Structure 1
Amino acid sequence: MSEPQQRPPEPRPAATVIVMRDAPDSSPPDIFMVERTAQASAFGGLFVFPGGKVDPGDIELEERCNGLTDAEASARLGIPSGGLAYWIACIRECFEEAGLLLGLDSSGAMLNLEGDEAQQRFGALRAKLNAGEISFAEICRSEDITLATDRLAYCSHWITPEQERRRFDTRFFIAAAPATQRAVHDGGETVSSRWIDAASALAALAEQRMNMIPPTFMNLRTLVDFADSEAALGHFRSLPEGAIPPITPSIFKDEDGSLKLRLSPEGPVLDLSQASKVRR
């Protein structure tokens, strides 16, 4: 009698933010990427965008979100409710992993963290947040911060293959880097960081100087032709609801024994040994 087939684990909701910084000349915009520590339980040693699991407490900040309601956010994601938590998780993870806080001060201006006092205060708050000594909601309330959820644009949706032990249902977003803040990795979960344009990051992947998983490099491929962050944000904001389908890849072995990843039943196939290239 055959063993009953084990059901794949349910994917956990997650959110990732692709932070773009425009160049002072006509060069392509840079994207902030962090390198995860090799000891990380997920994606160790890989270059990724800041992101992580959606926390149950994220939705507590619903009343502090600017220009977006839960009903509107949920409609954009195609879910009944709770969509705003993904936007909030993006902003929280961006502060935790990149030190950028996409928030507005009491006057409605984007937070200015350039001065020594602000850098020290928010650096200490970030350290406490990453140590679990304070919640993101407590930071926002004590500093009277309104989350700039209107500055994020939803751009893609990836669900981890069913064969994987750890699965995530991840929504990707784009945001422009605040001009008066400096991005830096946390030195814990992430051990290095860099600003790099999409084409250069893909070249580094092809030359095996940066390791990435398919959702990362496929999002880079999508962004490579945008001249600046506003063009990318405008494009994705203009898409109608339901225009971003989930990508549910599957892993299989080809006839030659090489490992392949199919992005969808009729979609392109990736050769995982040449991950920066796509054949249809």
Structure 2
Amino acid sequence: MELNTEIITTPPLDSASVVLLRDHAEGLQVLLLKRHQASNVLGGAYVFPGGKLDAADHSPALLARLSQDTATLHQRLAEPELPAERAAALFVAAIREAFEECRVLLGQAHSETPDLQALQNALTQGQSWSEAFQHLSLQLRTEALVPWTRWITPRQASVTHKRFDTRFFITRVPDGQTAAHDNHETTETLWITPRQALIRYWDRQIELAPPQIMSLVHLTRHAHTESVLAEAQSRRPPVIEPEPFDQDGIRTICYPGDPRHSVTQVAFPGPSRLMYKNKRFEPELGLAALLD
């Protein structure tokens, strides 16, 4: 992973990302997708499904297909300064991106599993999300999608040439659905325990960006999906604005709670800073700091 050293002057793009979970014999597992190597954002890295908010996500017809009204979703996102319609559109973006990137339609109960192939065919034939959902009489079910964290890329970004204001949602994969990469934006589907993912990262078998690293560290504290969802539902999503600085010629990113960060309250468990060493991001105390 190459370090980006430019200062980005454009405002961050609103985006949504989904941390998909499942309970497995090996323990709690999370879904990671490998970005296409040619992608201009985190090419070759393993990420959670997600992407930027599209104008169409605000479509009144599409918002009308939501299972919860915009006021409820606005309250759940816990960003009072954000217009209610934009808050609701971020839930739409999360559901849309998950389906586009890994063919999972979030929030559906096993008893009402929709015809996913029919939805895919409608979209392939050029129908918009709004048209496809109306044609197939589907709803965008948002109850199971829980706001988890909010990450805002700093102006001195480290791994991308763009800034994002990303809302991370967390949910379990719906029963009866199988995640599969699209072979366009993503080229590999990986279900893995958070601990195994961090070990594979340390062994240079996979690449991870700092938000994914720290999210996986957070998830190692949980044994099953219900525990993660209970935590997410019990508190307001922390806003994480990483603050980079150079120390002895080494790019270092610190997080809320670090002595160098402007916010003193800790936002998540694990190390409070990562350093760019050996062409990757590492905590000061190595792998043990990620797994402790």
Q: TM-score range by the shorter chain?
A: 0.7 to 0.9
225 and 245 in structure 1: CA distance in 2 versus 1, 3 angstrom threshold = closer
Contact 2:273 2:283 (C-alpha < 8 Å) held by counterparts: no
2:11 is the counterpart of 1:48: no
Counterpart for residue 252 of structure 1: 245
Q: Could you tell me whether the CA contact under 8 Å between 1:12 and 1:167 is conserved in 2?
A: yes
Q: TM-score, normalised by structure 2?
A: 0.81
Please list the CA deviations of residues 37-78 of structure 1 after superposition, one character each: whole Å capped at 9, or x if unmatched: 111121111100000001121132222222x33223223331
Question: What does residue 267 of structure 2 align with?
Answer: none
Residue 38 of structure 1 aligns to a residue whose secondary structure is: coil
Question: What letter matches 1:141 in structure 2?
Answer: Q
CA shift in 2, pair 1:126/1:192, >3 Å = farther
Aligned-pair identity in percent equals 29
- Alpha-carbon distance change, 126 to 201 in structure 1, aligned in 2, over 3 angstroms: farther
Q: CA deviation at 1:11?
A: 0.2
Gaps of 5+ in 2: 1-6, 265-271
CA distance change for structure 1 residues 272 and 252 in 2, over 3 Å: closer, same or farther? same
Task: Give the AA of the match of 2:94.
Answer: C
Matched, 1:172 2:168: yes
For 1:99, the equivalent position in structure 2 comes to 103
CA positional deviation for 1:124: 2.9
2:17 alignment partner, SS class: strand
Query: Is residue 2:118 matched to residue 1:121?
Result: yes
Distance 1:40 1:11, change over 3 A: same
Once the 2 structures are TM-superposed, how far is the Cα of residue 262 of structure 1 from its aligned partner?
A: 1.7
- Residues 71-100 of structure 1 show CA distances to partners (whole Å, capped at 9, x for unaligned) of 232233313322111111110000000100
CA RMSD of aligned residues (A): 2.3
User: What's the secondary structure of 1:226's corresponding residue?
Assistant: coil
Structure 1 residue 272: Cα displacement? 2.4
Match of 2:148 in 1: 155
Partner of 2:65: 64
Q: Which residue of 1 aligns with 2:4?
A: none
Task: Indicate whether 1:182 and 2:189 are aligned.
Answer: no
Distance apart, 1:163 and its partner CA: 1.9
Distance, in Å, in 1 between the alignment partners of 2:196 and 2:207 is: 13
The alpha carbon displacement at 1:167 in A equals: 0.5
Tell me, what secondary structure is at the counterpart of 1:34?
strand
Q: Quick one: structure 1 residues 127 and 220, their matched pair in 2 at CA, closer, same or farther if it must change by over 3 Å?
A: farther
Cα pair 2:13 2:165 within 8 Å, conserved: yes
Q: What's the secondary structure of 2:240's corresponding residue?
A: coil
In the alignment, structure 1 segments of 5+ residues that lack a partner are 1-5
- Tell whether 2:253 aligns with 1:261: yes
Structure-2 change in CA distance of 1:110 and 1:246 (3 Å): farther
Which string of whole-angstrom CA distances, capped at 9 and with x for unpartnered residues, describes residues 77-135 of structure 1? 3133221111111100000001001254xxx766426xxxx46434434545xxxx332
In structure 2, the CA distance between the partners of 1:151 and 1:174, relative to structure 1 (3 Å rule), is same
Provide the TM-score with structure 1 as the length reference. Answer: 0.84
Determine the structure 2 residue equivalent to 1:211.
207
Distance in 1, Cα, partners of 2:237 & 2:284: 20
Q: Which amino acid aligns with 1:244?
A: P
Distance in 2 (CA, whole Å) between partners of 1:272 and 1:33 is 22
Q: 1:225 Cα shift? A: 1.9
Paired with 1:162 and 1:234, the residues of 2 have a C-alpha distance of 33
2:82 corresponds to 1:80: yes
Letter in 2 for 1:13: D
